[in-house]
Structure 1
Amino acid sequence: MTDFQRNALTSGLSITRRRLLATAVPAALALPFGTTLFCGTSRANVRDPQVPALHGIAMHGEPALAPGFAHFPYANPDAPKGGVLTLGVQGTFDSLNSFIVQGGFTSARGMKERQFGENITESLLMRNNAEPFSLYAHLAEFVRMPDSREWIEFTLNPKATFSDGSPFTVDDVIFSLQIMRDKGRPPFRNWYAEIANFEVMGERTVRLTFKNGNNRELPLLIGLAPMFSKAATDAEAFDKSTLKPPLGTGPYVFAEIVPGRRVVYRRNPTYWAKDLPQKRGFDNFDEIRIEYFRDETSLQEAFRKGLIDVLPFNNPSRWTTGFDFPAAREGKVVRKEIVKGTPANMQGMAFNTRRPVFADRRVRQALSMLFDFEWVNRTLYSGLYKRTAGYWDNSDLSSIGRPADERERALLAPFPGVVLPEVLEGTWKPAETDGSGRDRTVLKAALTLLQDAGFSLKDRVLVDPQGQPVTFEIMTKNEDEEKLALAYGRGLDLVGIKASVRTVDASQFEERRIKFDFDMVFYTWTASLSPGGEQVGRWSQKAADTPGSLNITGAKEPAIDAMIDAMVAARSRTDFVSAVRALDRVLVSGAYAVPLFNLPAEWLGQWTRIVSPETFPLYGYEFPTWWSADAGN
């Protein structure tokens, strides 16, 4: 009998082969919480016993792993414990709270994220990244959710504690969701504001009822919410940037914090979940060190000297030429290519449509055509990049090369003209040049679009309808972006546009980005197999006017909001795919960014003293499942 089944029985739940049926919790277990403890909180008995208590939930269908699973497919349960992992990033940090606007984007890496680990802060449920979007019990031992998804109920794991040994309680759950609703950054505050009622159902059980069940992803987003200690968190100052270490339930604690330079995590030997199935093969290093570097050149040099154990490579030139040093020649450093099972991320140069110069879609289309990918890829990147076209390339969610089906056309019908005819029919693709750097055919087509928008050439200078020269700034944060921006400027110059390039440090970059104080900026829209509520923060009309939101472009298109609503409300995989493709068509037609390129795989340089599992998640590398070759020696 598994722990899940044993605890379910002791909680008064009956077991079937795949699920546990909930019954009422004995009255003796109910805590005397009053309605004054939290706004909207009340005490109640367990209701709806026909709704099963589950070990996991999925966005569509059922989770792949049955109750009693041994471990996640990409984790090695026999991985040895011990050793140190040192990682490096370019940039800085001045905050330990990534969930607020102030300092939220300059927080220390590794507190709660997929690649570097959820080392400090955890969630009620844990995501299995071998599946598109499935979550399994973690801080919550059981979860109940009706088919309508109008509410979700969590029964907490009795073993769950914070790193100081204090228990994790329903008070902490409610506090975490309410403080994020009131003081968190978008899109978190928007998601958690959809909770209409908080009900304490028993000693370890809390039910969250939503305003409606229209957003079918919302219960899963709640399951991934960061959990804080009510007792150890300063609620009044939560929205202020801080370097005070938060108290978490995660497998590590802070060992050293040097603002802007270094953060060190030390494994907690009394971590409450270390022996649970979802954590087998995870959290293998005694210590994780993350070093910060001001520029890419110094980061690369640190890797070559052995000061960094593993380093991602995003620049093809560095990937092809950056391993000519003694340790690499001796086999102490190897190159690793990881092919992901997810759509390609959309990397682009985003237009800030809040600026008048980019308000006209035809202008944005023309400016996108002036990026000569063929010349850039051959000249700067050894031909190793693939051109990006849409927001879910390399997956069945992409609209590129596919005519719209009947469901898509029905969704788009209330918004005539929003989607370009060639995008609707699946024939559109980014402008393709002859690779010369001055393809006259493409230049002429771009100028025609600009002239249609009222722009004209005067003395080899492009002027707007008011007769003013067209100028704008491209903001960059490192030398790679600067080099690419200058290359793009060559094409702009051919049609009389003067674009300046300004490189700023990481803190200034984030400050200007949060305030939308830029003309153009490099940005990556990460893609997954299960897009959902995060698209609201990226593209909705409301987010466009919210400082600190991820609506970088300032897009304000009702059709976008409608497609997102259809996507999160989809009950079948077929309807979901159609809604995502329809959204893709709207975004592509809006020309909100110059589409750049994507890598055929994730590229990592790795010292052989660090070992990775044989199997990787769909979403790419995750350091929590790696281990030290010297561990145990």
Structure 2
Amino acid sequence: MPFIPRCCLSSALLAAALLSSAWAADPSEVPTVHGLALYGEPGLDDGFEHFPHADPQAPKGGSLIRSAIGSFDSTNPFIIRGTPATGLTEIYDTLLTQNPDEPFSMYGQLAQGIRLDPDRQWIEFDLHPDARFHDGEPVTADDVVFSFTTLTEQGQPFYSAYYNDVIEVRAIDEDTVHFDLAESESRELPLIIGQLPILPAHFWEGRDFKATTRDSLLGSGPYRIAEVDPGRRIVYQRVEDYWGQDLPVNRGRHNIDRLVYDYYRDQTVALEAFKAGNLDMRIESSARNWATAYDFPALEEGLVKRLEIPDGQPAGMQAYVMNLRRETFQDVRVREALNLAFDFDWLNRNLFYGAYERTESYFANSQMAAEDLPSEAELALLEPHQDSLPERVFEQPLPVEHPEEMRPRLGRALELLREAGYETRDGKLVDAQSGEPLQLEVLLFDTQFERVVQPLLRNLSRLGIEGRIRVVDVNQYLNRLRRFDFDIIVGSFPQSANPGNEQRDFWTSPYADVPQSRNLIGLADPTIDALVEKLIAADSRDALDTAAQALDRVLRWGFYVIPQWHLGQTRIALWDKFGWQEPFPEYTLDLAAWWVDPERAAVIEARQRNR
């Protein structure tokens, strides 16, 4: 008998699912398809041979050595405990995989066929008969059920948030798995179920999934773990007899034999390692480095290239994140005052070489960003919550207007702080009642960011606020994040062109106090919860944009973060031994479609030997 656990939120929800299934389409009457799109039909027809940006004739072989920062002590990326190594997703296949050249279309990987109920009350996947784990065991429907159950019940909070609207999953037979879905109207849910990494149930039998491990875990993907040197290096080896290498979604991809991640203390050391030829590639996050640090002989000799690849995804939000679990930040006037003390223009001129744009929206660089006053469609979502929202959500346009010069900005910030109950005594800002000084700590793990934080702290000191930087190692940083033990961190909330269920993990009440959730702010607001559900339930592109704009507007007027900056491209420095096919995919950089050119690699290696 197959392993058929029921992943139920409650008996009442299961009863509702069973009742609704009586009205759902019979799976035998639903056509089997090769892919799904969030809206409309997938861009690639059934029978496509490969992704357009992949070259089926690409050579196999070579290595790609990149850096990771800090340390690691675990090869299990799915749990709360431990610091997982970089790149572990390479060893796992998923039911479906995304085409990087479409906004959100998924095509079969482990799943050979897909049947989706027209009313989206269930979805079924037929597994590919050739699908195998690295030990030769077949991938079965029981493995899918095991993976879903294990990840949502024992994995990071992200999984329970992401798959919250799955009522039940069961194996129909060895090769068919069925998911019953709640009536949440989440259009993306069938697609993101396809993103589920599939784990081998037989491998985990008798093992503690929640425990950290340094074992070479078993998967079914294009790479396997070849070497684990905890805290220093992890190596992945291409699986030569990979079962899925000739699938359309894989043909011309996963060409490089060895993927190596060497760990470094910080980005400065990693940059020097790249220049010395110890690393093959570097995705550069520092505007200063990009402008000044690559003037070295190998670049002049043409042995090193620099690329700037446009990024078609929304910029998302990188920001100083204030922890609402701290009493200091519970007053919106304090949060707005801290926003006023941030001088992006000075940073961009003096530290960033004018490279960045100021981020204002949580959905920056997209049509989902709120602008001006709310539209009629937005008002329809906002007005039911009018009593719980500040008047300026409805009456003042976005973006928020602040004085350009810092002197009047700091003057306005001081007014807000005084309204919030603070006063200046002996040059320090203190609580007027308790006399306690207003003190803030910015928690970092990368020393490279200290120079960026210091100007903000200088402006805060002009207000009488005592600010300090605390730099800790990566492991300590992650442990403090899990406990939400910080005042302010540099955090990010990445967004795709089609945001959905992951927004629960970012913003909603159930995840405000769940360790390792991505609700870093500590938001627990029924209005925001309701707007997130409206976004997830959007049934058209226009409805999605409107819901995102309403959510964005409320978040921005809450001043929960101090927005930083964004760049509409990815900066890559690399030793010139790689090949790729252009144009690059529009929405996501796909390094899996790159390869090592043997002739150019030989030139680079000879140069390194003869230095």
Report the TM range for the smaller structure's normalisation: over 0.9
Ranges in structure 1 where 5+ consecutive residues have no aligned partner: 1-31, 113-118
1:64 aligns with 2:43: yes
1:279 matched residue in structure 2: 250
- Give 1:325's aligned residue: 296
Q: Give runs of aligned pairs for residues 349-498 of structure 1, distance below 5 A.
A: 349-399=320-370, 401-416=371-386, 418=389, 421=392, 425-429=396-400, 431=402, 433-434=404-405, 439-466=406-433, 467-498=435-466
Counterpart check, 1:515 vs 2:483:
yes
Q: 1:246 to 1:432 in 2, by over 3 A?
A: farther
Partner Cα separation in structure 1 for residue 427 and residue 143 of structure 2:
64
**Corresponding residue for residue 316 of structure 2:** 345
Alpha carbons of structure 1 residues 135 and 319: separation in structure 2 relative to 1, 3 Å: same
User: Deviations 1:332-375 (Å, cap 9, x if unpaired)?
Assistant: 11110011111113110100010000011111011011011111
In the alignment, the residues of structure 2 paired with residue 384 and residue 505 of structure 1 have an alpha-carbon distance, to the nearest angstrom, of 29
The code of the aligned residue for 1:87 comes to R
Question: Are 2:259 and 1:288 aligned?
Answer: yes
Indicate yes or no: 2:24 matched with 1:49.
Answer: no
Kindly provide the amino acid, as one letter, of the partner of residue 271 in structure 1: Y
Report deviation, 1:210: 2.2
1:61-110 alpha-carbon deviations (Å, 9 max, x no partner): 2211110112112222222111111111212111111111112xx21111
5 Å-filtered alignment, 1:107-186, equals 107-112=84-89, 119-186=90-157
- The equivalent residue for 2:520 is 552
CA 1:87–1:424: 2 relative to 1, 3 Å: farther
The amino acid across from 1:493 in the alignment is: S
Query: Relative to structure 1, is the Cα distance of residues 422 and 153 closer, same or farther in structure 2, using a 3 angstrom cutoff?
Result: closer
Structure 1 distance, partners of 2:585, 2:525, is: 35
SS in 2 for 1:187: helix
Work out the CA distance in 2 between the residues paired with 1:523 and 1:619. 22
SS, match of residue 502 in structure 1: strand
The question of whether the paired residues in 2 share the 8 Å contact of 1:140 and 1:157 is answered with yes
Structure 1: how far apart are the matches of 2:573 and 2:357? 21
Aligned equivalent of 1:29: none
Which residue identity does 2:85 align to in structure 1?
A
Q: Aligned-pair distance for 1:198?
A: 2.7
Following the alignment from structure 1 to structure 2, what is the Cα–Cα distance between the partners of residues 216 and 291?
40
Structure 2 unpaired stretches of 5+: 9-13, 15-20, 603-611
CA distance in 1, matches of 2:304, 2:391: 49
- 1:497-537 deviation per Cα after TM superposition (whole angstroms, max 9, x unaligned): 00110101110110000110000000111121011111111
Matched with 1:253 is 224
Once the two structures are superposed, the pairs formed by residues 518-537 of structure 1 within 5 Å of their partners are 518-537=486-505
The aligned amino acid for 2:48 is F
Q: Which amino acid aligns with 1:578?
A: T
| 3-state DSSP of counterpart to 1:52 | coil
Q: Distance in 1 between matches of 2:437 and 2:111?
A: 59
Aligned counterparts of 2:153 and 2:79: Cα–Cα separation in 1 = 10
1:93–1:423 CA distance, 2 compared to 1 (3 A):
farther
Structure 2 residue aligned with 1:567: 535
Give the direction of change, closer, same or farther, for the CA distance of 1:344–1:325 in structure 2 (3 Å limit).
Answer: same
Give the stretch that moved more between structures: 354-363 or 375-384: 375-384
Task: Give the letter aligned to residue 575 of structure 1.
Answer: A
Counterpart check, 1:612 vs 2:580: yes
> What is the one-letter code of the residue matched to 2:428?
V
Identity of aligned residues (%): 39
Aligned pair in 2 of structure 1 residues 76, 465: CA closer, same or farther (>3 Å)?
A: farther
- 2:175 alignment partner in structure 1: 204
1: CA distance between counterparts of 2:74 and 2:425?
49
SS in 2 for 1:415: helix
Q: 1:96 touches 1:246 (CA, 8 Å); kept in 2?
A: yes
Cα 1:274–1:372 shift into 2, 3 Å: same
Query: How big is each residue's C-alpha offset from its partner over 1:150-169, in whole Å with a ceiling of 9 and x where there is no partner?
Result: 11101000011011111000
CA contact (8 A) 2:162 2:505 kept: no
| Distance in 2 separating the partners of 1:152 and 1:211 | 12
State the 1:309 CA deviation. Answer: 0.8
Cα distance in structure 2, aligned partners of 1:234 and 1:292: 32
Q: Which amino acid aligns with 1:38?
A: P
1-structure distance, mates of 2:401, 2:268: 32
Is 623-632 or 515-524 further displaced after alignment?
623-632
Which residue identity does 2:87 align to in structure 1? G
Residue by residue over 1:312-343, the C-alpha shift from the partner in whole angstroms, topping out at 9 and shown as x without a partner, is 11111100111111101111111100111111
* Residues 600 and 180 of structure 1, relative CA distance in 2, 3 Å threshold: closer
1:94 counterpart = 2:94: no
SS in 1 for 2:59: coil
Aligned residue for 1:365, secondary structure, equals helix
Amino acid in the other structure paired with 2:514: T
Hey, what's the Cα distance between the residues in 1 that align with 2:268 and 2:136? Answer: 43
Matched-pair contact (CA < 8 Å) for 1:56–1:143: yes
Which amino acid in structure 2 is aligned with residue 412 of structure 1?
Answer: L
Q: Which sits farther off after the overlay, 192-201 or 501-510?
A: 192-201
Using the alignment, how far apart are the partners of 1:357 and 1:270 within structure 2? Answer: 57
**Conservation of the 8 A alpha-carbon contact between 1:372 and 1:432:** no
Whether the 8 Å CA contact 1:420–1:589 is kept in 2: the answer is no
Whole-angstrom CA distance in 2 between matches of 1:54 and 1:465: 66
- Post-superposition Cα deviations, 1:450-480, rounded to whole Å, max 9, x if no partner, equal 1221222222211124321100111011122
Asked if structure 2 preserves the Cα contact closer than 8 Å seen for 1:423 and 1:585, the reply is: no
Q: Compared with structure 1, are the counterparts of its residues 256 and 40 closer, same or farther at alpha carbon in structure 2 (3 Å cutoff)?
A: closer
Paired residue for 1:78? 57
Partner of 2:607 in structure 1?
Answer: none
Alpha-carbon distance change, 424 to 122 in structure 1, aligned in 2, over 3 angstroms: farther
In the alignment, is the contact (CA less than 8 A) between 1:424 and 1:585 conserved in 2? Answer: no
- Partner Cα separation in structure 2 for residue 580 and residue 318 of structure 1: 34
How do residues 590-629 of structure 1 correspond to structure 2 at under 5 angstroms?
590-629=558-597
Q: Which residue of 1 aligns with 2:472?
A: 504
The structural deviation recorded for 1:493 is 0.6
| In structure 2, distance between residues paired with 1:321 and 1:430 | 34
Contact 1:477 1:509 in 2 (8 A): yes
Q: Return closer, same or farther for 1:325/1:540 CA change in 2, 3 Å cut-off.
A: same
**Once the 2 structures are TM-superposed, how far is the Cα of residue 565 of structure 1 from its aligned partner?**
0.5
CA distance in 2, matches of 1:558, 1:295: 40
Q: Answer with 506-515 or 76-85: which moved more.
A: 76-85
The structure carrying a bigger helix percent of its residues is 2
Shift of 1:40: 6.2
1:430 deviates by 6.1
CA contact (8 A) 2:54 2:251 kept: yes
Amino acid at match of 2:488: M
* Matched residue count: 585
Instruction: Quote the offset at 1:200 in angstroms.
Output: 2.7
